[in-house]
């Protein structure tokens, strides 16, 4: 089994990376391989809502000059996804949000490519804003029928300068617990696939509030 951990921080080896590395170590103890996808430093355009990915059904965003399309296939092949973001103005890093808007639009529009994969959100805050950032990430998981295990507290940790996050003993303990639960749920799903078939896919009708 494989997990893709998305580093939304522009600091390649900063606190977000170190938080994801700690979780990867816990997953490795359960025999689960984790790769870290660096997104935060990339130039990623935002979604323009053109709906081309839904019309063509080709698992591709119409914009092909960044990492989005290759990332769609990487995430579609994974069993679990961790999304880690630094807190910017009590929310996601901008480049990460642009990335997630397009990746999840493509995946959702193509028969929910991430359906029943296991997801985990992680926020890294200097001081505040961790909980709304985690909530924001979870919205992407929830709209694509992903499965969200929990930890023993909200999955945000604190640190400013690179390395400070490792001094947040309670926060790091929370991440380790969440990662252990994530691995356990992934293994339950893998072992139960044959015994308990997944529910049939149902396309979601799109309606507006004015009709």
pLDDT band for position 114 (50/70/90)?
Answer: very high
- pLDDT beyond 70 at 211: no
CA gyration radius, the chain = 17
Where are the alpha helices (H) located in 77-159, listed in sequence order?
94-109, 130-143
Task: Determine contact, residues 181/118, Cβ cutoff 8 Å.
Answer: no
Task: Determine contact, residues 6/34, Cβ cutoff 8 Å.
Answer: no
Which residue from 75, 90, 98, 94 is spatially nearest to 156, judged by alpha carbons? 90
pLDDT band for position 167 (50/70/90)?
Answer: very high
Q: What is the pLDDT of residues 3-53, one digit of tens each?
A: 999 999 999 999 999 999 999 999 999 999 999 999 999 999 999 999 999
Query: pTM value?
Result: 0.96
- pLDDT beyond 70 at 86: yes
| Phi, psi torsion values for 147, nearest 5 degrees | -105, 130
The pLDDT value given to residue 210:
76
Q: What is the pLDDT of residues 134-152, one digit of tens each?
A: 999 999 999 999 999 999 9
Domains of the chain, earliest start first? 2-192 (3.40.50.360)
């Amino acid at each position: 089994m494989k997990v893709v951990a998305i580093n939304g921080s522009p600091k390649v080896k900063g606190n977000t990376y170190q938080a994801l590395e700690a979780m990867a170590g816990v997953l490795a103890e359960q025999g689960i391989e984790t790769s870290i996808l660096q997104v935060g430093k990339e130039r990623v355009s935002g979604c323009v809502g053109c709906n081309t990915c839904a019309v063509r059904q080709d698992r591709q965003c119409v914009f092909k000059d960044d990492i989005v399309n290759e990332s769609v296939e990487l995430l579609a092949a994974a069993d679990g996804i961790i999304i880690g973001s630094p807190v910017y103005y009590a929310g996601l890093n901008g480049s990460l949000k642009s990335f997630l808007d397009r990746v999840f639009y493509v995946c959702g529009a193509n028969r929910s490519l991430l359906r029943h994969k296991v997801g985990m959100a992680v926020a890294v805050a200097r001081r505040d804003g961790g909980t709304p950032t985690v909530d924001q990430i979870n919205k992407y998981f929830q709209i694509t029928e992903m499965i969200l295990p929990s930890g023993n507290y909200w999955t945000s940790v604190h640190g400013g300068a690179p390395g400070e996050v490792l001094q947040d003993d309670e926060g790091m303990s929370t991440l380790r617990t969440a990662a252990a639960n994530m691995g356990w749920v992934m293994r339950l799903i893998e072992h139960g696939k044959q015994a308990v078939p997944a529910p049939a896919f149902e396309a979601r009708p799109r309606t507006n509030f004015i009709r």
